[in-house]
Amino acid sequence: TILSIINSPEPPDLILFEEIDKSIHPRCLEQVINFLRSIAYPEKNIKPTQIIATTHNPYVVDLFHQKEEEIILVKKIEGNSNYTRLSDIIEKIFNGEKYEGALGELWFSGQLESLK
């Protein structure tokens, strides 16, 4: 389904995926994410497609190492949805230093929850 939508002659301006890793073999996740990234950031003269995907899978999060600004964490506080870039949270946690560990582990550790 993903490939059909993306490879259509006139791809949509926006594609939404609920739990993007569902029904995708774990070894294929990186290929899918890279392919989606190629249509979100296409070569010159090609209209980009905005992609919004949800996941609870730390392995998907790991695929965004060195691209932390592409991940937005959402937390509901008092009935309102608050959005924070992962890169901003990492900058606060590590005082501007680069984080070299696995993003999924950082997310799974709970450290990100306290700063959103």
pLDDT at position 106 is 87
What phi and psi, each to the nearest 5 degrees, are found at residue 94? -105, 20
pLDDT at 80 over 90: yes
Distance between first and last Cα of the chain: 34
Tens digits of per-residue pLDDT, 24-77?
888 899 998 998 888 888 887 778 889 999 998 999 999 998 899 999 988 888
pTM over 0.85: no
Question: What pLDDT does residue 85 have?
Answer: 92
Cα 31 from Cα 107, distance rounded (Å): 22
What pLDDT sits at residue 53? 93
Q: Does position 114 have pLDDT exceeding 70, yes or no?
A: no
At 47, the amino acid letter reads: K
